């Protein structure tokens, strides 16, 4: 990432306001530093050369106190704004990464999901030192250093020449050390990402691993990754301390050169005392911002590395989504015309060249062997995936056809209900998970149709039972009934069911079949991914989905 990356300003509005505040604080600090040194040099010169008393220098002393108080206030205000802005910027970037990762679709998340989730949850927190420490020092280096050097030039040409020659040494050393530090920071972030991915996988399969007695192997692997992350962190810290010592040593030598030169010429009367004091006191101020930039760079390097990965997510092109409002789905037919979607990173199409008509008020079943693209077809119909060949078309009752690629996704999803293989249960009551604010009689009727009423009978508080995190856990079959009830109450014209009976026994499957019939009887358009014969039997139309083992996207397009 650049010292001030334009992408940061583009993706986080809080960063733009903060940069303006930092710039104003930097300019004010530069003026106060110069005023402080000039006042102090005048007071000391008057006391040493003219024997001035406190009464004689009372006015400069008062102004010196005002300047010191002003510096403290500016610094405190900038620190306060910095911490608030850092929190806002990190929150904005995290929300942007998560939102864009969702917009990129399940295919992208399958390839980058673990890394992006770890980044959003943990990595961006390391951006705070960059915003609170590094960026303000960078602004001070751009304001205080040239301003103080200009004052030294007015006081003593030789001292200004020494500073002008030695100042470039600081950035050279910073670049050399910074390149090495960046490598360590990237390694640390990679270790953290691997650790996060392993933890997610371990937690997801912990019950199965424990049942098989295989939980100890993954636990050892997580410990090894934790030690690797700790080692990478310590390497970064060691380099930060070493580079800080190098910069301190270099700036001390440069300041000493100015002090020796001024001292020798002061002895021989070639420079006045006040001018000599100004040069000696301003010399450290010339180097201080540059030195702090080098020091704070290491503290912010992890955040910079995380920000780079965040920008990589945010800059990834999402599947196109049109801006036209979705046509009314009630009574409309959804057409799949030559539909083909790449399977992962390969050129294999699953499905390949699929033509289907999903008629209103009927149940259409997608069948085919595993890996043929049934779930992918459902996701493409939902508008979550974009087809690589062919298209999804909505034909209105009046014959007007609209390509789904031209439709705004939000307006499309408002008319669609989706029941995945493993429905998500949000923390809250059962009623809130099904339909917040729905009428009691509608909920009861839907629960009877899906068999959820049997589940509610076994819960301590019925509809008001808290489920999800910190609440009652539901089995896969119970979650499936809840999701079907949610789809039935939602009254969406199009309902997409992805193998709703895959994990259920015969008794639970009967409730799914009843729910599918209830959806059809309500005039809803139902698209169901089916494996079991019973689910296929209640369908009005059956569409076989096939994959092309050797047909590339280019071949498919040429064939059409």
Residue spans per domain, the chain: 6-315, 333-559
Quickly count: other Cβ atoms within 10 Å of residue 497's Cβ: 29
The 8-class DSSP code of residue 451 comes to T
Q: What are phi and psi of 529, to 5 degrees?
A: -85, 120
* DSSP code string of 59-103: HHHHHHHHHHHHHHHHHHHHHHHHHHHHHHHHHHHHHHHHHHHHH
> Which SS3 state, helix, strand or coil, does residue 419 take?
strand
Pull the structure tokens for residue 231: 């080692």
Contact between residue 403 and residue 392 where contact means Cβ atoms under 8 Å apart: yes
H-type alpha helices, 156-272: 157-166, 169-204, 206-212, 216-267
* Strand 389-395 relative to strand 401-403, pairing: antiparallel
> What is 6-315's CATH number, 3.30.70.1070, 1.10.10.10, 1.20.1560.10, 3.30.420.40?
1.20.1560.10
Q: Which of 335, 391, 387 is nearest to 360 (CA)?
A: 335
How many Cα atoms occupy the beta-carbon half-sphere of 399 within 13 Å? 0
- Helix 216-267 / helix 169-204 crossing angle, nearest 10 deg: 170
Per-residue pLDDT of the chain (560 residues; tens, 9 = 90+): 566 677 777 777 888 888 888 889 888 988 999 999 999 998 988 888 878 788 888 898 999 999 999 999 998 998 888 888 888 888 888 888 877 777 776 666 655 555 555 655 566 777 788 888 888 888 888 888 889 899 989 888 888 898 888 888 777 776 776 666 666 666 666 666 666 666 666 666 766 777 677 767 777 777 777 777 777 777 767 766 776 677 778 788 888 888 898 888 888 888 888 888 889 898 888 888 877 776 676 666 667 777 777 787 777 766 556 677 888 888 899 999 999 888 766 677 888 889 999 999 999 999 988 888 898 899 899 888 888 889 999 999 988 999 988 888 888 888 999 988 888 888 888 998 898 878 888 889 889 888 888 889 988 888 989 887 666 778 878 888 898 899 888 888 999 999 887 767 777 788 888 889 988 988 899 999 988 888 899 999 999 999 886 444 444 444 44
The 8-class DSSP code of residue 363 comes to E
pLDDT attached to residue 231: 76
In order of 30, 62, 141, 292, the CA distances from 137 in angstroms are 12, 28, 6, 6
Q: Who contacts 246 (Cβ-Cβ below 8 Å, separation ≥6)? A: 173, 177
pLDDT attached to residue 556: 43
Contact between residue 167 and residue 289 where contact means Cβ atoms under 8 Å apart: no
* Strand 363-367 relative to strand 541-544, pairing: parallel
Task: Quote the CATH superfamily of domain 333-559.
Answer: P-loop containing nucleotide triphosphate hydrolases (3.40.50.300)
């Amino acid at each position: 990432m650049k010292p001030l990356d334009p992408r940061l300003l583009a993706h986080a509005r809080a960063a733009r306001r903060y940069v303006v505040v930092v710039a104003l604080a930097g300019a004010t600090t530069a003026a106060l530093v110069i005023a402080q040194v000039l006042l102090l040099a005048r007071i000391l010169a008057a006391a040493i050369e003219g024997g001035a008393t406190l009464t004689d220098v009372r006015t400069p002393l008062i102004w010196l106190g005002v300047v010191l108080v002003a510096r403290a206030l500016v610094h405190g205000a900038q620190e306060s704004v910095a911490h608030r802005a850092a929190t806002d910027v990190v929150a904005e970037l995290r929300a942007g990464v998560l939102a864009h990762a969702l917009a990129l679709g399940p295919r992208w998340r399958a390839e980058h999901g673990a890394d992006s989730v770890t980044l959003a949850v943990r990595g961006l927190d390391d951006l705070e030192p960059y915003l609170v420490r590094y960026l303000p020092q960078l602004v001070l280096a751009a304001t205080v250093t040239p301003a103080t050097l200009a004052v030294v030039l007015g006081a003593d040409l030789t001292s200004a020449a020494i500073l002008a020659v030695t100042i470039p040494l600081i950035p050279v050393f910073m670049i050399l050390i910074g390149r090495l530090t960046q490598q360590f920071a990237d390694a640390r972030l990679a270790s953290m990402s691997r650790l996060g991915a392993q933890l997610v996988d371990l937690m997801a399969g912990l019950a199965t691993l424990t049942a098989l007695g295989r939980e100890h192997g993954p636990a050892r692997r997580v410990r090894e990754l934790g030690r690797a992350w700790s080692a990478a962190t310590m390497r970064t810290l060691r380099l930060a301390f070493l580079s800080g010592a190098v910069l301190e040593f270099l700036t001390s030598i440069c300041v000493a050169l100015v002090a020796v030169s001024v001292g020798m010429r002061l002895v021989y009367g070639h420079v006045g005392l006040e001018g000599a004091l100004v040069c000696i006191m301003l010399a450290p101020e010339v180097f201080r911002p540059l030195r702090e930039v080098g020091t704070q760079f290491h503290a912010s390097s992890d955040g910079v590395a995380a920000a780079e990965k965040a920008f990589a997510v945010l800059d990834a092109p999402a599947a196109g989504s049109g801006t036209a409002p979705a046509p009314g789905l009630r009574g409309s037919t959804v057409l799949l015309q030559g539909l083909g979607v790449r399977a992962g990173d390969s050129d294999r199409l699953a499905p390949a060249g699929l033509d289907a008509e999903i008629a209103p008020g009927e149940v259409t079943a997608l069948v085919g062997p595993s890996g043929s693209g049934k779930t992918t077809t459902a996701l493409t119909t939902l508008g979550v995936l974009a087809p690589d060949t062919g298209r999804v078309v909505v034909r209105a009752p009046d014959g007007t056809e609209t390509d789904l690629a031209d439709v705004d996704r939000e307006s499309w999803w408002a008319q669609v209900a989706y029941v995945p293989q493993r429905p998500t249960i949000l923390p809250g009551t059962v009623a809130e998970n099904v339909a917040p604010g729905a009428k009691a009689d509608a909920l009861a009727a839907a629960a009877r149709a899906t068999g959820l009423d049997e589940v509610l009978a076994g819960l301590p508080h019925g509809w008001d039972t808290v489920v999800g995190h910190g609440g009652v856990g539901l089995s896969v079959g119970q979650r499936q009934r809840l999701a079907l009830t949610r789809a039935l109450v939602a009254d969406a014209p199009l309902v997409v069911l992805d193998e709703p009976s895959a994990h259920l026994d015969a008794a639970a499957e009967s409730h799914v079949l009843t729910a599918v019939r209830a959806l059809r009887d309500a005039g809803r358009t139902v698209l169901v991914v089916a494996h079991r014969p019973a689910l296929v039997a209640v369908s009005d139309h059956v569409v076989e989905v096939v994959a092309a083992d050797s047909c590339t996207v280019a071949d498919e397009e040429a064939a059409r």
